Structure 1
Amino acid sequence: MYSIQQRLAAEFIGTFWLVLGGCGSAVLAAAFPQLGIGFVGVALAFGLTVLTMAYAIGHISGCHLNPAVTLGLVAGGRFPAKELPSYWIAQVLGGIAGAAVLYLIASGKAGFVAGGFASNGFGELSPGGYALGAVLLAEAVLTAMFMLIILGSTDQRAPAGLAPIAIGLGLTLIHLISIPVSNTSVNPARSLAVALFANTAALQQVWVFWLAPLAGAAVAGLIYNWLGKAKA
């Protein structure tokens, strides 16, 4: 049994890695077309951060790395509500630390301008110019589907040891769908972290990327709580 301090440290480290790895691929690598990673590479990078951390710290903290996932697990009866605030704090701080390290690395290049800094947004801040309603719907639905993947693949009746692969590939697919729409959040901690460093109005829009993912995850938790119950 791991202590709460160990579990919070694991969540901090895991969310740090998610932001540094996922957003770092967008800020550092995707900005250079000759490297050939493109938005497909960014989508894969986010999936790989979750997959690698699930194997590294999943047995310690559950590897939530995301306030929406923690809320969804509470709604699905998989996680105690009393620990939700501390997990959220660890995730937010880990994300900010990851974004800070990324900013320090990126600013080491002459002429660096933060710009959007891999932040999320709607309207003018949406990569494809999508409106608020479309972004809200995409973020809520995709977070709900991500939560169902997490709950289903980590169910005791699911094949053992394969959950990280399903979850990592699920997050990759979500990014392939929604990078053009919102630059893909499905994670409030990730959105807040980079918005703090962006040279845009991203911070003013970050409420969307708390509201929609939290709502989607909570609904998914309730759905799986019913869907996953086997009859006696």
Structure 2
Amino acid sequence: MSRRSSAGRTPPPAPVTTTAPEPVATTAQKLLAEALGTFLLVFGGVGTALFAANFGASDNGTSLGVGFVGVALAFGLTVVAGAYAWGPISGGHFNPAVTLGVAAAGRFAWKDTPGYIVAQIVGGAVASSLLFLIGSFGPAGWLDAAQSGGFASNGFGDLSPGGFGLGAAAVIEIVLTAVFLFVILGVTHARLGTAFAGLAIGLTLTLIHLISIPVTNTSVNPARSIAAAIYGGTGPLGQLWAFIVFPIVGALIAGFVYRAVFEAKKA
């Protein structure tokens, strides 16, 4: 006997869905999104440090530069913009340390990390190359001064803005990169995350820069460090290893700890 409704009529068949499922981004699209996001971060953050941080003063002595606070905000704002623009496509890493950290947390496939890291490094290098090009058309002596000053590169010892040594650089880069990853993993959690994840991540990066610009000029991102060091001269290039190793160590620690503590399955 066929089923009938309470009115004695056979219920209509369920409607057939004809809308195609939302397409998943291709690998090429994801890599391009990562390159674009890293480009924006370096172009906006390093560009602000080079062009606007110490712009000089007006005739009445008022500073026209944005200083450390402006540079910190620039890095944070680029991440906010990139997260909402390209995050839905690639996840919005824009940072090799973030890619490795989320892989350690089980949120990203290890096999996909090399492609993301290459795309991020390329995006950052293109950005710093364009900054160099802009500087080459600047006032006489500007580009030479920017390069002799390290081209907004990261550094310790004599290359630290505040003269902090290698030990300080190691601690602050490891700790702050771990903090950054803990925030990222928390606000992007599948069940407990927030729609304002991009804003939270960007504000966290701003805070990180406010803390650590005087110590290392703030890396927490090997792609950013590589991009600036390309044009920073032998000193920044010689210290570049530290700003590749320390952020990655901090990110891996955070990723493995987060997975063990917050994502462990109940027995």
Contact 1:120 1:126 in 2 (8 A): yes
Contact 2:54 2:66 in 1 (8 A): no
Secondary structure of 2:51's aligned partner = helix
Give unpaired runs (5+ residues) of structure 2.
1-23, 57-62
TM-superposed CA distance for 1:156, in Å, is 1.6
**1:151 matched to 2:185:** yes
TM-superposed CA distance for 1:200, in Å, is 4.8
CA distance in 2, matches of 1:106, 1:136: 31
Contact 2:54 2:65 in 1 (8 A): no
TM-superposed CA distance for 1:181, in Å, is 0.3
**1:95 matched to 2:129:** no
Secondary structure of 1:175's aligned partner = helix
CA distance in 1, matches of 2:110, 2:233: 36
CA distance in 2, matches of 1:96, 1:135: 23
Larger RCO, structures 1/2 (Cα 8 Å, 6+ apart): 1
Contact 1:27 1:106 in 2 (8 A): no
Matches within 5 A, 1:213-224: 213-224=247-258
* TM value normalised by structure 1: 0.97
TM-superposed CA distance for 1:157, in Å, is 2.3
CA distance in 2, matches of 1:226, 1:204: 36
- Which residue of structure 2 aligns with residue 57 of structure 1? 86
Number of aligned pairs? 232
Q: Post-superposition, which runs of at least 4 consecutive aligned residues in structure 1 deviate over 4 A? A: none
TM-superposed CA distance for 1:228, in Å, is 1.8
* TM value normalised by structure 2: 0.84
Cα offsets for 1:67-114 (capped at 9, x unmatched): 000000110000000000010100000000000011111221122222
The amino acid across from 2:39 in the alignment is F
Cα offsets for 1:20-60 (capped at 9, x unmatched): 00000000001214324110000000000001000000000
CA distance in 1, matches of 2:191, 2:134: 43
Identity level (%): 56
The amino acid across from 2:240 in the alignment is V
Structure 1 or 2, whichever has the larger Rg, is 2
- Which residue of structure 2 aligns with residue 141 of structure 1? 175
- Which residue of structure 1 aligns with residue 32 of structure 2? 9
Contact 2:186 2:193 in 1 (8 A): no
Contact 1:30 1:42 in 2 (8 A): yes
- Which residue of structure 1 aligns with residue 224 of structure 2? 190
Cα offsets for 1:197-231 (capped at 9, x unmatched): 01351001000001100000000001111222374
Q: Which is helix-richer, 1 or 2?
A: 1
The amino acid across from 1:83 in the alignment is D
Secondary structure of 2:117's aligned partner = helix
**1:175 matched to 2:209:** yes
